[in-house]
A = this chain, B = another copy of it.
C-alpha cells in the first residue's frame, strides 16, 4: 500500500501542554506504526495554542491562538481537546461537534461533568467522542471495560486512579514519613499541583470513577452523587498499624452494584497486603474489575505523564481514523451502550454503604475500657475481627487501641463511634478507615 493511496485523516490539536506535546511527538516518532495500524495518513493540520511548546517540534503546522478557529476549520476531521478545564473546553467540544467533527479528549472533568449532554449532541451529529486518556492515562481501561469485558455483568471495580495520592501513600509506608512532608516533595517533583486539593482530596479520582462506573453499569454519568474523601487525615501511625494487621492503605475509587443501588465512592481504604493491587506503588495506577463471567482482572500502568497519556489519545485517533465513515450504530457507543439504553440507577448514600472498618482510638489504660467498647460494638451488631492494644508509653496514661471490625452499614458504625467517643475513657476523636477484602 503506497502512501498516496491512503485516506488522509486531518487532526486539529487544541492545547499544547504536556499531553499536547506528547501527542505531537508520538504522531511523529511512531508514524510508521500509526500509518500501518490505522490504514490512514494521519497528520496534524491545525494547532490551537497560545504558544509553542519547546518539548515538541510543530514544524510547519498552522498554529492559531484562537482554539475555536481549529473547531471551525473545514480541513480538520478529528478535534483533539487537550486544553483542560470545563469552560473553554466545553464550548470548544460543542463547537467541534456542531461542525460534524469527531472529538478525542483527555479531559476527565469535562466528561464527568458534561458528558451526558455532549454525548447526546454528538449522537445527533453522528460523531464520536473518545476519551480513553481521561481515565488512568496510558492504561487502556476504557477499551477493556467497554469492549474487552463486554460479555460481563460488571459486579464491582476498584482503582488506584490518582498517582499523586498513591505516591504519597507509598512514601508514607516505605519511609514512615508524614503526609505533609511527602506532599511537599511531590509538589517539588511536579507530581502534585501547586493546589493539590483535587488530587489528595479525591476529586480527580472521583471524576475518573464516575466515568468508569457509567460504563461498568450502563448508566448516565452521575457526578453529583459521588462520595469523595481524601487522604489528608492519614497518620503515619495508621500506615504502621495497617501493615501490622496485614493490610495496606490505598486511596481507591470504588464502584459496586448492590441490590439497593450503586456504590460510588473514593476514599482511603485498607486492603489485604497480598492482593496484587496492594503492590501497586508510587505514581502508577491500576484498576481491578470484577465481572460475573471473567472473575477478577487487573489493568496496570502509568496514570499520567506526557507520552503515556498521549498514547491513549493517539490510540483513540487510530480507532476513529480507521473507521472514519462508519455509522455510529456500528461503532462502540460512548458509554458502552447506546445513549437511549442507559438506565439511571440509584446511588447509595455513604450511610447505606456496607464495609468493614479500621478504628484507631486513644483509650485510658484502665480496667474495663475494652469491655465497654466491645459491648457498644456488639450491641450495634458489629464484631471485632482483630485488635491491637499497645502498652502505654512511659509516663502516659493513654494507650492506642486499634480494631478491625466485620462488615457493617456505615450508619451503624457512625452511631457506634459516637457512643464510643462519648465515653470518658476515650480521648479525642476516633480515626477510622474503611476496609475492603477485594476478593475475586
Contact = CB atoms under 8 A, between A and B. Distances in A.
A36 B338 contact: yes
Given A148-B144, A295-B307, A302-B294, A153 B30 contact: yes
A134 to B, nearest CB: 14
A314 interface: yes
B329 A326 contact: no
B144 A140 contact: yes
A315 B30 contact: no
A164 B305 CA distance: 37
A319 B314 CA distance: 21
Given A30-B151, A143-B148, A336-B37, A322 B311 contact: no
A291 interface: yes
B295 A301 contact: yes
A332 B319 CA distance: 8
Contacts of A317: 151
Contacts of A299: 144, 297-300
Contacts of A319: 147, 150
Interface in A298-350: 298-302, 305, 307-308, 310-315, 317-319, 322-326, 329-333, 336-338, 340-341
Contact of A315 (B22, B139, B149): B149
A144 B147 contact: no
Nearest to A278: B279
Given A37-B336, A294-B138, A322-B330, A147 B315 contact: yes
B298 A301 contact: yes
Contact of A276 (B150, B280, B295, B314): B280
A236 interface: no
Contacts of A138: 291, 293-295, 297
Given A148-B143, A150-B315, A33 B322 contact: no
A338 B1 contact: yes
B301 A297 contact: yes
Nearest to A34: B151
A333 B319 CA distance: 12
A238 interface: no
Contact of A1 (B148, B297, B341): B341
Contacts of A310: 151, 293
A26 B152 CA distance: 8
Given A150-B314, A322-B331, 14 more contacts: A26-B151, A26-B293, A33-B218, A36-B218, A37-B333, A132-B148, A138-B297, A140-B147, A140-B148, A140-B149, A147-B315, A151-B312, A151-B318, A293-B308
Interface of A: 1, 22, 26, 29-30, 33-34, 36-39, 132, 138-140, 143-144, 147-153, 218, 276, 279-280, 286, 291-302, 305, 307-308, 310-315, 317-319, 322-326, 329-333, 336-338, 340-341
20 contacts: A29-B292, A36-B218, A38-B150, A140-B147, A147-B315, A150-B314, A150-B319, A151-B315, A151-B318, A276-B279, A276-B280, A276-B300, A293-B314, A294-B302, A295-B301, A296-B302, A298-B298, A322-B330, A323-B326, A325-B330
